[in-house]
Amino acid sequence: MIKQEAKKRIDKLKEEINFHRYQYHVLDKLDMSDAAFDSLKNELEELELRWPDLVTPDSPTQRVGGQALDKFKKITHSEPMLSLNDAFGEEEIKAWVERVQKLAPRAQFSYFCELKLDGLAVALIYEKGALARGATRGDGKVGEDITQNIKTIEAIPLALRIPSESELKKEGFGEHQIKKILSTLKSGAIEVRGEAIMTKRVFEQLNKKYKKEGRPLLANSRNGAAGSLRQLDPKITAERMLSFFTYSVVTDFGLERHEQEHILARALGLPSFNHDSRKKYAQRCANLEEVIKFHAFWAKHRDELPFGCDGVVVVIDDVALRAKLGVVGKAPRWMQAYKFSGEEATTIVEDIILQIGRTGILTPVAVLRPVSVGGVTVSRASLHNEDEIRRLDLKIGDTVIVQRAGDVIPDILRVLSKLRTGKEREFHMPKICPMCGGKVEKRAVSAGKEGKSVGHFCANKNCFAVNRRQLGHFVSKSAMDIEGLGPKIIDQLMKEGLVRDSADIYDLKEGDLTPLARFAAKSAKNVIESIDKSRQAPIARFINALGILHVGEETAIDLADHFGSMEKLSEASEEDLSALANVGPVVAQSIAQWFSEAKNQKLLARLLKAVKIKEPKVSKKKQIFKNMALVLTGELAGLSRDQAKAAIRERGGDVASSVSVKTSLVVAGAEPGSKHDKAKELGVKIIGEEEFLKLLK
Ligand code: IVH
């Protein structure tokens, strides 16, 4: 064969292979056996071997190309990758609809329902139609560049399909939309997002193989997908045979309905649910009854699905409503995850052991005889606290019903006490810590909606486990953000006696680290560099890092804003602390107690020597809201929520999330909700946006 002929044959083969990929992954049509498909790929590979200069980046042979990496590069997302709020049961999904209806009272909603796949969120960026980058969600803002691994997923096209104008017209796209789609395909960037998954069939095949080879098994198909994409060597990812479904088109083509994103994705050669050919997996619903029906159908038939699915995503179809509904926290209001209720199984509680948390709290955990719940084998169930054990009337040796609701750790629903033999044993919380032998104390803890309950704590501040958790928290992203000090390294440092508490971290030298087995000289240097970087810390993160019981990220920000310096915070009385809008008596006591302990005072002094704290800028604004707690409700037209909050804080006020007797003033925008009613009920002063803006002047 001469080169010219080879080129022709190569082009034809590529086209043919891509056509069958499209038939199979996008149109769900099996028109060729795996063996025949492989044989086409083999022929292509052979030709490319003979004429390497005829290899193009979008050739199907280039899916497993690159070398193994040392680590993934970071990618900043074009817009945040959000998450979804969950609704369990009909009541919660109805409540969501009522909430959004209040925000858009005149709108007539229709919904698009699709399956919620259990895999890993992935963003794909195509430039001039060719796959340029793939990224994980990461923290929502910055993800990891997993392009090499993404390319191994056959369901993902290496080059987008170019639909004809008439095809797009037939699919219902308007003239402007079509123009923009085609021109962006040609010369711009297109971003889509979706879920990378491992099908149940692949999961089972792989585990069978791994078992035979004596390799560790994959825990479930979701971990299978997530773990496979985080492999630094793309060859391993390729072996895992992942799949992909698109759920959104991020690039703005002026689409009017969410459903059109799916239609467009498919026209571009990407697998995606849409009501035409995958009728069963997605559906347009005119009202809530239809949504509930769709959910009920899949709750009943989920086992028949080829992939793991933990619920239905309900999307308000009208794209124009998104801006009106907005995003709360990290979740858009215009969509909701309507989850399936957990699956159940029975097993025996073989033991109850204790886990230790960063505040020293001891949590009982049930050791189960391993049992498969919803296709996943579990051996632990959370028990939360001693009260829960009493409530369940649980004894060691009991047969129980366990329920798994998508989480990794299942719950015990109830005890089948009729199956008792008389050999079951009562469980009591220990008087001494099983980890360190220190004394165990009982203390009040707030337990969410149920109010207060009693928790057991290890009183030994030197407890290895306590310190390990504390250190892990101290270095975490929302605290001092020291990269490279993962749990294994912290363990090692503690075992070597190099670090006992957080202040010790700042005494570490590169030479201390290099001899440790896990460190190559380079990474020791990097760790020291990131420790040094953390020596400049914003006060809120520093407060969070201290690991004070009940003080998380949010409370730390409130404390930082209110007190402004560590000196003032450490001198604050319980009463001073209680004056803050979001600080109740239990939290206030915990903070005051922490600063009163000699051991903590010493630690703080050492930390303050090592760390330069960045205090909030002194405000030049008139402190008109000094010592006041304000609550915002409804929509403000003139400024965003964040701007309003900042304006209040700059003027000395606190912003609380709910109305209580401590509230000094409520600022009500358009369509205020229940907070407004509560304020009226409590006789709290309410002002409108206009008056608020006047005050700010
Ligand atoms: S919509 C706002 N549609 O669920 C971001 N997400 O719990 C939601 N997921 O991170 C995107 N199937 O990884 C959407 N059909 C689907 C989905 C889906 C699975 C995942 C996604 C997201 C997570 C949120």
pLDDT for res 41:
93
Sign of the torsion formed by the C-alpha atoms of 531, 534, 536 and 542: negative
**Atom of ligand 1 minimally distant from the CA of 137:** 10
Q: Are 343 and 403 in contact (CB under 8 A)?
A: yes
Question: pLDDT digits over 497-546, tens only?
Answer: 677 789 989 988 776 676 565 555 557 788 889 999 999 999 999 999 99
- CA–centroid distance for 603 within its chain: 33
pLDDT for res 104:
93
pLDDT for res 450:
41
User: Within this chain, do residues 113 and 248 fall inside the same structural domain, yes or no?
Assistant: yes
User: Within this chain, do residues 252 and 327 fall inside the same structural domain, yes or no?
Assistant: yes
Give the integer Cα–Cα distance in Å for 185 and 163.
10
Average pLDDT of 363-372? 84
User: Within this chain, do residues 144 and 277 fall inside the same structural domain, yes or no?
Assistant: yes
Residue from 272, 309, 313 to probe ligand 1 pocket by mutation (most atoms less than 8 Å from CB): 313
Give the integer Cα–Cα distance in Å for 394 and 421.
14
User: Within this chain, do residues 121 and 185 fall inside the same structural domain, yes or no?
Assistant: yes
The closest of 138, 120, 123 to 307, measured between CA atoms, is: 120
534 contacts: CB under 8 Å, gap ≥ 6: 480, 481, 482, 611
| Radius of gyration of the chain, Cα coordinates, nearest whole angstrom | 29
Give the integer Cα–Cα distance in Å for 195 and 153.
12
In a domain? residue 624: no
pLDDT for res 447:
47
- Full residue range of the structural domain in which residue 230 is found: 74-339
Give the integer Cα–Cα distance in Å for 493 and 482.
15
Answer whether 132 contacts ligand 1 (Cβ < 6 A): no
What percent of the chain clears pLDDT 70, i.e. is strictly above it?
Answer: 94
More confident residue, 494 or 624: 624
Give the integer Cα–Cα distance in Å for 552 and 556.
6
DSSP 491: H
Q: What is the pTM of this model?
A: 0.57
E strand or H helix at 309: strand 309-316
Nearest alpha carbon, ligand 1 atom 18 = 116
In a domain? residue 621: no
| C-alpha dist (Å) from residue 327 to 75, 323, 331, 526, 630 | 22, 9, 6, 37, 21
Pull the structure tokens for residue 112: 């698009």
User: Within this chain, do residues 51 and 88 fall inside the same structural domain, yes or no?
Assistant: no
In a domain? residue 435: yes
φ/ψ (deg, to 5) at 289: -60, -45
Domain at 609, CATH number:
1.10.150.20
User: Within this chain, do residues 198 and 83 fall inside the same structural domain, yes or no?
Assistant: yes
Domain count of the fold of the chain = 6
**Atom of ligand 1 minimally distant from the CA of 116:** 12
Of 408, 442, 460, which closes a domain? 460
Domain at 296, CATH number:
3.30.470.30
Residue from 195, 310, 322 to probe ligand 1 pocket by mutation (most atoms less than 8 Å from CB): 195
User: Within this chain, do residues 192 and 263 fall inside the same structural domain, yes or no?
Assistant: yes
| CA 245 to ligand 1 center in whole angstroms | 10
**Atom of ligand 1 minimally distant from the CA of 118:** 19
Question: pLDDT digits over 57-106, tens only?
Answer: 899 999 987 788 888 999 999 999 999 998 988 889 999 999 999 999 99
Q: Are 671 and 690 in contact (CB under 8 A)?
A: no
